[in-house]
Amino acid sequence: MKTLKVLIACEESQAVCKEFRKLGHMAFSCDILPCSGGHPEWHIQGDVISILEQEWDMIIAFPPCTHLAVSGARYFAQKIKDGRQQEGIDFFMKFANCKCQRVAIENPVGIMSTKWRKPNQIIQPFQFGNEAKKTTCLWLKGLPNLKHTKIVSEGKFYISPNGKKMASWSHDPVDKNGKKIGYNTEAIKILRSKTFPGIAKALATQYSEFIKSSLTVQEWEDK
């Protein structure tokens, strides 16, 4: 199989990058933050836009959702007024409009469904073997929808005093040492942005196999 050159944009965790590397591909994570995945030799720290138009066989992008996700809708008026939301839209669309012919853009439910178009697919970690709920949208160019690998339970939930139901992994998280992570900290933002292992593996495995197959997107999805 051809070795693919893959850009994993806006990824500091290297979760997806490492899955592609396991398959022998030349994958690079890129983020303005240093990587936390343990492989700085596979990480490009800096502005991803400066390398976006290089020759890539595939780009998987995780643009920041801070100004785009509906979970922050109560702040939209201010973000529209001061330009932060438009900056987020413009950055997202850099990936949508880049020259690479195989692109996957990941984001939670947000305004891009109306500002641009609806996502090709909406997935959950529990469809890929991880007991957690995190609604994840995928906008695809030249790539097929992911096939679910293992359906498990949705995991535990927290019910707030006002009756709001939230996934426990996101609401009451702990670090690898069992210490609770502060709710409004940079650490919690990074944790919530990480890709679950099952989805990371599916992205690498299925998209690599798709390219190897030489099938069209429709033929692959009809298999």
Q: CA of 49: how far to CAs of 45, 52, 177, 208, in Å?
A: 12, 5, 35, 24
Per-residue pLDDT, 197: 96
Return the CA Rg of the chain: 17
Domains and CATH numbers, the chain: 5-149+195-222 (3.40.50.150)
Beta carbons within 8 Å of 110's beta carbon, 6+ residues apart? 65, 68, 69, 70, 137
Assigned token pair, 55: 């020759």
Two structure tokens written together for 52: 């976006």
pTM here? 0.88
Instruction: Give the model's pLDDT for residue 71.
Output: 83
Q: What is the model's pLDDT at position 175?
A: 57
Task: Give the model confidence (pLDDT) of 100-114 as tens digits.
Answer: 999 999 999 999 999
Residue-wise pLDDT tens digits, 113-151: 999 999 999 999 999 999 999 999 999 999 999 999 999
Model pLDDT, residue 94 = 98
Tell me what pLDDT residue 154 has: 87
The structure tokens listed for 115 are 């500002």
Bridge partners (DSSP) listed for residue 45: 31
Task: Residue 206: name the closest of 153, 116, 156, 138 by CA.
Answer: 138
Residues (pLDDT < 70) of the chain are 1, 166, 168-193
